[in-house]
Structure 1
């Protein structure tokens, strides 16, 4: 288990810690690891992109350009995958951070999962 830092998310370095810790859990997870590891062969560019994504959402750095939705639509993921992703994300936030931006990160993750689930359901019908 990661030691608790209990500080606010304040910098790109904090976002980097969040992203690296979270995706380390994803890669090792029995359910999600198989999905992500099958698609992502070189994790470094993906992790860099995720740092840009979350920095843009939480710190307004404007370093992320793009739309994550199209790249996730082809994945064979269902409600159980989204639920696990959210569980691991919230767990990582709680282990590392506290405060308003940390709470916002959890709200944003929930919204992202909800939107992706809804779009995937529409596409599959």
Structure 2
């Protein structure tokens, strides 16, 4: 029963710890930044922060990880299906959060490009 309660808590802690991931990218510019760059960067980072990490892809990754972990735990002679599911869910959620972080980074870079900054990476 404790494992069932710990899974949502661990997922919440994981997402909370990664709240800024992807938004703190330091873009590489082709040339010197203009006077608007810092304010545009702050606005683009805010835009990226508003994109949820707990999206359908992250939830699907967690569910898939839980299923695979549960099956592996059940098959293993010394394994525990519930423990495997918990570990699998955490691993899947971590992968989903990583993908969301990459998407946030792209949002910041594309936003700056859209505002006329020569961002190369």
When the two structures are superposed, what TM-score results if normalisation uses the length of structure 1?
0.28
When the two structures are superposed, what TM-score results if normalisation uses the length of structure 2?
0.29
